[in-house]
Every structure is written in structure tokens, then in C-alpha cells.
Amino acid sequence: MDPIAILQAFLLGLLEGLTEFLPVSSTGHLILASELMGFTGDGSVAFKIAIQLGAILAVLVAYRQRFAHIAAGLVRRDSGAIAFTRNILLGFLPAMVVGFFAYSSIRQLIESPMTVAIALIVGGIAILLIEKLVPPRIEGQVETMPWRTALGVGVVQCIAMVPGVSRSGATIMGGLLMGLDRKTAAEFSFFLAVPTMAAATVYSLYKERHLLDADDLGLIAIGFVTAFVSALMVVRWLVGFVGRHGFAPFAWYRIALGSIALVWLLLR
């Protein structure tokens, strides 16, 4: 394999893992980084889709005990496990429907770095406003969320189909607006990522299967492993960080990055 391609695969995998669960848009970062590195051919599309599975695996590993507990609870018909599963499925439903019927339109947006830059800035401003408006709340659990809240967060998640918005950012901010505390909103975003990202990745790979090349499997493997390791570190760190500092640091980062990207795109 080409050493430059290996380095690009490693860096993009690292970027995917570090940003997937932060409210800064992993897709947006991958689009801008790929544009900067010149990694924009047909093979790059399949690569960027496939490495998301590494981030999904990180959630399953980080919360393996929680998922095992929920699975055992479903067998026992435990009310908490049933409520948890119901909320995840309700949160996933809107994205499944919209993604299925609007895939072509979303695919066109994914190719636009300018869309990413603008969405990063607008999303950063939105996070700052929500942080100011939403008061602190008592810590809860995903199991105790009302079903209407789970469905509402799922509807908000659909906004993140615009690259640069951030799936985690949309779900966490949506959760805060609907009455969740920071920890529960962040964890619900993690758990909701599993069916949402898995379905989106598998469906996208199926639709773009003509872009898959056996020669690219080695690069995909490098990106997958790197994304998994880096995402695992972020998942374990994020909940504690936002409990102490909130989401404002990510908002200012989004605004700065989006502004720099916007100037670069306009002047190049």
C-alpha cells in the first residue's frame, strides 16, 4: 500500500473516532479533511462510510455491561429494560424513515464542503444559545425518559443528516431542550448511535457498493481500527467532561473551525 494513503487512512480514522460522539460533526470533519488532503475520489466515499462502524463498536464495548443488563432484562420482561429498548427504537424511527426516502438528496449534500462550514458555525451558535436557555436538571436515566421525549429527540436527529450539523450535537441539544439532564442526553445520544449509525452505514455501503474495491480493504481496516480506539477513549471521557464544563467549548470550536473553513473555501 502507498505510505501516503496509509497515513491518510490513519488520520481520517483518528478524526472519525475523536469527533463521532462530540457535538462537532464527524462527517463535517471528514469532508473538510478529505478536501484538504485531496482524498476525494470514489474510493474515499466508501472508506468514510465504512470506518464509522469502528465508532459504533466502541459504544458497544464501552457500555457492554449496560447492554448485557438490558438484554437480560428483556428476557425477564423487566420494565426498565423494555422502556430503554422502546426509547431507543422510537429515537431511531424518524431517521430510518427520512434516511430511506431522502438518501439521494442527502448524498448530494455530503459532497459539499461549503455546507459543512456554514452548518458548523450555525450549529455552534445554536449550542451556545441552548446552553444559556436550559437550566440545570436533576440527573435521570434513559429508562425513565417519556416516550414522547425519545421520539422528539429522534425527530431532531434528522437535522443532522445535513453534513456539519452533528448527529451527537443534534440529539444532545434536542434532549436538553426536551427536559433531559446533560448526562442522560449524552448517554442517550451514544445508545441511539448504535442502530442509527449501523443502519445508515450498512444502507450507504449497499447503495455505494459499486465504489468498493478489494484494493481498498487494507486502508478501510486501518481506518476502522483507528476509529474504534479513538472513539472508545472519547466515549469514556465525554460524560465527565460535559458534567464539569458543559457544551460551550465545543460550540466555540465549531464556530472557529467553520469560520476558518469558510474563508479557505472562498479564497482558494
Write the pLDDT tens digit of every residue in 158-196. 998 888 889 999 999 999 999 999 889 989 999 999 999
Q: What is the pLDDT of residue 245?
A: 81
CA distance 133 to 154: 21
C-alpha cell at 121: 458555525
Q: What is the pLDDT of residue 24?
A: 92
Quote the domain boundaries for residue 238: 3-267
Q: What is the pLDDT of residue 76?
A: 94
Q: Which of 202, 218, 230, 225 is nearest to 26 (CA)?
A: 230
Q: What is the pLDDT of residue 50?
A: 86
User: Do the beta carbons of residue 128 and residue 248 sit within 8 Å?
Assistant: yes
Mean pLDDT along residues 87-113: 81
Question: Percent of the chain beyond pLDDT 90?
Answer: 54
- Judged by DSSP in three states, 39 sits in coil
Q: Higher confidence at residue 213 or residue 155?
A: 155
Q: Which of 116, 120, 106, 92 is nearest to 23 (CA)?
A: 120
Residue 130 has pLDDT above 90, yes or no: yes
Measured in whole angstroms, the distance separating CA 28 from the mean position of its chain's CA atoms is 10
Mean pLDDT along residues 64-70: 94
Q: What is the pLDDT of residue 106?
A: 67
Burial of residue 160, with CB atoms counted within 10 A of its CB: 0-12 exposed, 13-18 middle, 19 or more buried: buried
Q: What is the pLDDT of residue 108?
A: 65
pLDDT class of 207 with cuts at 50, 70, 90: confident
Q: Hey, which of 96-105, 109-118, 156-165 has the most confident mean pLDDT?
A: 156-165
Residue 255 has pLDDT above 80, yes or no: yes
Mean pLDDT along residues 84-100: 92
Q: What is the pTM of this model?
A: 0.86
Q: What is the pLDDT of residue 113?
A: 87
Residue 212 has pLDDT above 90, yes or no: no
Q: How many domains is the chain built from?
A: 1
Residue 117 has pLDDT above 90, yes or no: yes
C-alpha cell at 109: 449534500
Q: What is the pLDDT of residue 43?
A: 67
In sign, the C-alpha dihedral spanning 57, 58, 59, 64 is positive
- Judged by DSSP in three states, 45 sits in helix
Q: Higher confidence at residue 101 or residue 30?
A: 30
User: Do the beta carbons of residue 110 and residue 25 sit within 8 Å?
Assistant: no
| Residues whose CB is less than 8 angstroms from the CB of residue 28 and which lie 6 or more positions away in sequence, other chains included | 116, 119, 120, 163, 164, 165, 166
CA distance 215 to 43: 10
CA distance 120 to 35: 16
Q: What is the pLDDT of residue 28?
A: 87
Question: Percent of the chain beyond pLDDT 70?
Answer: 94
C-alpha cell at 142: 434513559
Residue 107 has pLDDT above 80, yes or no: no
